[in-house]
Amino acid sequence: QVRLVESGGGTIQPGGSLRLACAASGVANNWYTMAWFRQSPGKTREGVAAIGPDGQTDYSDTVKGRFTISKDNLKVTVFLRMDSLKPEDTAMYYCAFRGISLPYSSRLREDEYYYWGQGTQVIVSS
């Protein structure tokens, strides 16, 4: 059973930066896809960034150029560096895991992921 634990959320002023982390346990090997999703009140969950076993990354248009996803295979941890934060980035951020290499076109689809963390709250406000 894969378990995901997110950390790093908080309150930040517009234009600031945060780095989220998601530590995975119970992972059998390095051939996996991990992603970050977010959900604001009243909105559907949105895929933000994903990274495959080959290190290939994918981003939603709303965060491209501002957010960077990376991973540490040794620690089985994925990171989300968020720069130039805007109030509309305020959301609960969730980490997701799938134990295969998802097709590039599917990596930001919520229904492709079997394991989810509990989420970490990010508030961007002055």
pLDDT in tens, 71-95: 998 889 999 999 999 999 999 999 9
Residue 43: the pLDDT is: 94
Q: What is the pLDDT of residue 7?
A: 97
Q: How far, in Å, CA of 91 to CA of 83, rounded? A: 15
Please count the other Cβ atoms lying within 10 Å of the Cβ belonging to residue 13.
10
Taking 90 as the threshold, does the pLDDT of residue 29 lie above it?
no
Phi, psi values for residue 45, rounded to 5°: -70, 135
> Average pLDDT in the 52-62 region?
95
In the chain, % of residues over pLDDT 70: 100
Question: Distance from first CA to last CA of the chain, Å, rounded?
Answer: 40
Cα 104 from Cα 68, distance rounded (Å): 17
Contact at 8 Å (CB) between 51 and 70? Answer: yes
Instruction: State yes or no: pLDDT of 30 exceeds 90.
Output: no
